[in-house]
């Protein structure tokens, strides 16, 4: 009812590695369906995805290990379709259907 | 955003933005560039000699896994003629190393390298689980940290290997530079910035633990690029949250480095270089005397943080959380060693004394170490094990002495020698005064 249009949602793959998966119930790979547009009606970007992950996916209460000052915590790399997010506009990158977003922690040891 | 092309081959899509100079590279060019830079580090410092047998300190984590992979690649590509083996240390904490040792075993197969796993029990006669049983949960981090610092050297000596390489990267070095700068400890700073932190051979005894050379070929490699290398090369590595927390100070230095990198990626290498330049200004630094002068600090004495640090690091927030979790049962999680020894002795005879008052967080010191000034260390050898030490007896041996003295558990001696117990307490209390003063 609310979203009648079929382009209302997009399907993406989100992956966690380098120890970050421990914050996401040890899930390394998620298939997510997210709204194509955010609350303000603009195309959903990485910033939106990160909020979405925090609010609805992440069960671990230690949000600060993933997000700090409203962005991905320094020391966590973000790869968009295998490319460094810095090459793609960082958290302003507008997500497309079928995208693969990988979050890798460099902060964990072995 | 239109995809940009690789600055090197100008044909493939750029996937990597290099932190040190903002070059955009494709996957293949990045892998080659990364390897070539390590090769330059190795050749420009004449790190290895042909025919040398090298032990790679391997934890299964990203740094040592990448190090092993790159060493294998370069050894073959440039015909170094090195004999590479993997050396892993098992602290003997039930369950803790299971997954990482499995990773190391897989790596050994993938890289066709010999693997040697040595346990704390073999190296020290005690597993960490046994130590914990003896001293309680509180003090064990001190033990694990001190033992870990020597473990690779002792292990290498066992194998008759004279050179150990570790996966310390530019972020690690920058972090250590900052820590020593903030502590005002330039002599130590000068020691830890050096690519070879060898324990100089003071004796001709080839079996002595002190004759092991230690180096870090990844010293100029960004942690970010190490992780990207592992990712783009599909390396098999293991990540964990460190179950024991390094000191909070190190965590803060870490966070600072990562924050700086976000704003100014070149900052990490800049800090490393500043550290090297400052090292040259320190009188009697390694730069001037080849590492055998009085300001030297034994290889592992400082560069690795608390327990699990070098290969097992966690962020500040995690550490705080971990700390809370660890200390939930016991309230004095971060006391120095002196107090730990005491409580373990006392625990058997009397209720714990309120010894924790006013104890501030600081690098735990062995009782014998606390009387000397840290600035003017004169390096000698531990009279017991031969490891390079500023004291007659090195920290590990002091700890072992304490452990072995109290080995009882099996002997049911508690209660049989009340006098001894009492004097033990008295000694311990004396130690506390020394330690806190
Ligand atoms: Zn290229
Ligand atoms: Zn010793």
Q: Which residues of B214-230 are buried (b: 16+ CB within 10 A; e: fewer)?
A: bbbbbbbbbbbbbbbbb
Beta bridge pairs of residue B115:
B86
Find the CB nearest A109 among B1, B262, B308. Answer: B308
Distance, in Å, from the CA atom of B408 to the CA atom of A18, rounded to the nearest integer, reads: 42
**Distance from the alpha carbon of residue A87 to the mean position of ligand 1, in angstroms:** 15
* Tokens read off for B301: 């004495």
**Nearest chain A residue (CA) to B230:** A18
What single DSSP character describes residue B19?
A: T
* Domain-embedded: residue A95: yes
Helix (H, G, I), strand (E, B) or coil at A67: strand
The pLDDT score that the predictor gives to residue B1 is: 58
* Domain-embedded: residue A27: yes
Cβ of A87 within 8 Å of Cβ of B24? The answer is yes
What single DSSP character describes residue A43?
A: B
Mean pLDDT of A42-53: 95
Cβ of A107 within 8 Å of Cβ of B315? The answer is yes
Q: Which residues of B400-419 are buried (b: 16+ CB within 10 A; e: fewer)?
A: bebbeebeeeeeeeeeeeee
Find the CB nearest B317 among A64, A83, A84. Answer: A64
pTM: 0.76
* Domain-embedded: residue A10: yes
What pLDDT band is residue B302 in, cutting at 50, 70 and 90? Answer: very low
Question: Residue B170 in contact with residue B38, Cβ under 8 Å?
Answer: no
* Tokens read off for A90: 């960082």
Cβ of B314 within 8 Å of Cβ of A107? The answer is yes
Question: Residue B287 in contact with residue B190, Cβ under 8 Å?
Answer: yes
* Domain-embedded: residue A91: yes
- Give B401 or B283, the one with higher predicted confidence: B401
Cβ of B14 within 8 Å of Cβ of A87? The answer is yes
Most confident of B139-153, B175-189, B310-324: B175-189
- CB atoms under 10 Å from CB of B253, counted, come to 22
All structural domains of chain B, each given as residue ranges with its CATH number in brackets, are 45-436 (3.40.50.620)
Contacts of B217 (CB under 8 A, 6+ apart): B38, B41, B42, B47, B67, B70, B71, B165, B195
Mean pLDDT of B12-40: 96
Contacts of B76 (CB under 8 A, 6+ apart): none
Summary mean pLDDT of chain B:
73
The closest alpha carbon to B168, from B91, B59, B86, B258, belongs to B59
Question: Residue B1 in contact with residue B8, Cβ under 8 Å?
Answer: no
* Domain-embedded: residue A11: yes
* Domain-embedded: residue A70: yes
Closest-lying ligand to the alpha carbon of B381? 2
| Cβ contacts of A102 on chain B, cutoff 8 Å | 231
CATH code of the domain covering residue A81: 3.10.20.30
Distance, in Å, from the CA atom of B322 to the CA atom of B211, rounded to the nearest integer, reads: 36
* Domain-embedded: residue A99: yes
- Residue A38 sits in which domain range? 3-105
pLDDT in tens, B164-185: 999 999 999 999 999 999 988 8
Q: Is A105 on the interface with B (CB under 8 A)?
A: yes
Determine which of A18, A23, A110 to mutate to test the interface with B (most B C-beta atoms within 10 Å). A110
Residue written as token pair 């490393």: B272
ipTM, 2 decimals?
0.92
DSSP H/E element including B107: helix B98-111
Handedness of CA A67, A73, A76, A78 (dihedral sign): positive
DSSP H/E element including B214: strand B213-215
Distance, in Å, from the CA atom of B333 to the CA atom of B346, rounded to the nearest integer, reads: 17
| Cβ contacts of B106 on chain A, cutoff 8 Å | none
How many domains does chain A fold into? 1
What pLDDT band is residue B129 in, cutting at 50, 70 and 90? Answer: confident
Find the CB nearest A83 among B15, B60, B237. Answer: B15
Helix (H, G, I), strand (E, B) or coil at B75: helix
**Within 13 Å of residue B369, how many CA atoms lie on the same side as its CB?**
24
**Distance from the alpha carbon of residue B393 to the mean position of ligand 2, in angstroms:** 5
* Domain-embedded: residue A110: no
């Amino acid at each position: 009812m609310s979203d009648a249009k079929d382009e209302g949602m997009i399907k993406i793959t989100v992956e966690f590695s380098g120890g970050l998966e421990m914050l996401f119930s040890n899930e390394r790979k998620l298939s997510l369906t997210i709204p194509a547009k955010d609350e303000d009606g603009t195309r959903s970007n990485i910033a939106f995805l990160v909020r979405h992950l925090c609010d609805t996916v992440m069960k671990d209460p230690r949000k600060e290990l993933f997000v700090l000052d409203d962005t991905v915590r320094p020391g966590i790399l973000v790869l968009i379709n295998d490319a460094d997010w810095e090459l793609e506009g960082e958290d302003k990158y507008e997500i497309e259907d079928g995208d693969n977003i990988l979050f890798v922690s460099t902060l964990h040891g072995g | 955003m239109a995809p940009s092309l690789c600055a090197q081959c100008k044909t493939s899509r750029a996937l990597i933005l290099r932190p040190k100079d903002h070059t955009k590279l494709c996957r293949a060019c990045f892998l080659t560039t990364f390897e070539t830079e390590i090769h330059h580090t190795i050749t420009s410092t004449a790190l290895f000699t042909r025919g040398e047998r090298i032990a790679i300190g391997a934890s299964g984590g990203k740094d040592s896994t990448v190090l092993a992979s790159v060493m294998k690649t370069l050894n073959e590509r440039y015909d170094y003629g090195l004999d590479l083996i993997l050396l892993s240390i098992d602290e003997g904490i039930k369950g803790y190393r299971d997954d990482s040792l499995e990773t190391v075993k897989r790596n050994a197969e993938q890289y066709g390298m010999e693997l040697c796993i040595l346990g704390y029990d073999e190296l020290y006669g005690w597993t960490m689980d046994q130590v914990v049983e003896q001293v309680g949960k509180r003090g064990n981090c001190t033990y694990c940290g001190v033992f870990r610092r020597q473990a690779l050297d002792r292990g290498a000596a066992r194998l008759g290997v004279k050179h150990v390489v570790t996966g310390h990267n530019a972020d690690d070095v920058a972090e250590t530079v900052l820590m020593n700068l903030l502590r005002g400890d330039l002599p130590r700073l000068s020691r830890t910035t050096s690519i070879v932190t060898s324990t100089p051979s003071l004796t001709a005894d080839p079996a002595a633990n002190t004759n092991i050379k230690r180096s870090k070929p990844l010293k100029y490699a960004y942690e970010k690029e190490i992780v990207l290398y592992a990712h783009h090369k599909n390396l098999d590595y293991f990540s964990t949250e460190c179950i024991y927390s390094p000191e909070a100070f190190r965590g803060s230095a870490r966070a600072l480095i990562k924050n700086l990198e976000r704003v100014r990626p070149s900052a990490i290498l800049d800090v490393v270089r500043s550290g090297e330049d400052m090292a040259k200004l320190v009188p009697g630094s390694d730069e001037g005397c080849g590492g055998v002068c009085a300001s030297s600090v034994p290889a592992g004495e400082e560069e690795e943080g608390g327990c699990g640090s070098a290969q097992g690091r966690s962020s500040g927030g995690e550490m705080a959380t971990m700390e809370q979790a660890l200390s939930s049962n016991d309230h004095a999680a971060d006391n120095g060693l002196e107090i730990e020894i005491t409580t373990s002795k006392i625990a058997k005879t009397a209720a714990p004394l309120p010894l924790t008052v006013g104890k501030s967080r600081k690098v735990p010191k062995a009782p014998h170490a606390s009387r000397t000034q840290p600035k003017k260390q004169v390096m000698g050898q531990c009279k017991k094990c031969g490891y390079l030490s500023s004291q007659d007896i090195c920290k590990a041996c002091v700890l072992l002495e304490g452990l072995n003295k109290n080995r009882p558990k099996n002997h049911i001696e508690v209660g049989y020698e009340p006098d001894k117990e009492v004097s033990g307490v008295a000694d311990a209390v004396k130690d506390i005064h020394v330690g806190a003063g």
